[in-house]
Amino acid sequence: MRYFLPVSLLAIGMLVPSLPVGSGVVFAACGDEVVDPGEACDDGAANGSGQTCCDTNCEFKPDGNASCDGNVCTRPDTCLAGVCTPGACADGTACTVCGGQCVDAGGACDCDFADPTPTPETCPEQGVPVDGACWYYGSVSASCDAVCGSVGLSYDDATRTFAGSDGTYENCIAVKDAVTAAGQGTCDPLTPGDQNCSGFGAASGIGCHCAPEFGFLVALARCAIPVTTSDAAIANRARYCACF
């Protein structure tokens, strides 16, 4: 008597050969704090944050300025082949984290701050709340002074400290995601997140913004250099601005 296996089982047998026990095959799991084959790094839940040079895909962050020491008071940090070199305060002294803020005061960081302002539930003029600030997607080529002024508000330095030159690209993505979800413009992280924008002129510290790609504003970027300012503007780029 002949027996015939179903075609589906035969196909599975040909496409997925059995692996003997102890074959050494390992399936990588990015985020488990184990550097598996195929991964350059793995810092677990910290992947992609400002505490590591490892991104969310378990690859090294691009060489250059990138928050990586977990201390917002040091700037700028630098990643090189996955190794973090912390920055320093402007006065060159050691700094500590103070509620997410830091100010150079003489020979040390002044850490006498009140608790960070809680994220508001609502913002005026269709602003979007993210990490204690109200964010707005600006018009093309406009400064944050102009963006905030257009809704009767003033520039909030969270533009710089959270998503700008003293913040992180990950925070820039968080702002973009929240603003997009609220229906204010669209932008995708298609091109390098952190950029040196010094070559665009004196007023080029625009921080987190949407840049042109293929003729459309679709590339999320962050000018890590130079320092983010309220009056900076670059032609054909739209800024994300915190206002109060």
List average pLDDT for each run of 10 residues in the chain, which is 244 residues long.
41 39 53 93 91 93 86 76 79 49 49 46 86 92 96 94 93 92 81 85 92 77 95 94 94
Residue 210 DSSP label: E
Gap between the Cα atoms of 160 and 133, Å rounded? 12
Lookup: tokens for 239: 């800024």
Rounded to a whole number of angstroms, the distance between the first and last alpha carbons of the chain is: 83
Lookup: tokens for 56: 């969310």
Query: Cis ω on the peptide bond leading into residue 76 (within 30° of 0)?
Result: yes
Burial of 229 (0-12, 13-18, 19+ CB in 10 A): buried
pLDDT for 86:
82
Report the 10 Å Cβ neighbour count for 118: 9
pLDDT for 67:
82
Pairing mode, strands 216-225 and 194-196: parallel
What phi-psi label fits residue 90: left (phi over 0), alpha (psi between -120 and 50 degrees) or beta? Answer: alpha
Tokens 């010094």 found at: 198
**pTM of the predicted model, to two decimals?**
0.53
Q: Which residue type is seen at 122?
A: T
pLDDT for 100:
42
pLDDT for 28:
61
pLDDT for 214:
67
The torsion defined by the Cα of 184, 190, 195 and 200, in degrees rounded to 10, comes to -70
The torsion defined by the Cα of 161, 166, 171 and 173, in degrees rounded to 10, comes to 120
pLDDT for 213:
73
Domain assignments of the chain as residue spans, ordered by start: 26-115, 124-243
Gap between the Cα atoms of 217 and 223, Å rounded? 16
Tokens 């018009």 found at: 139
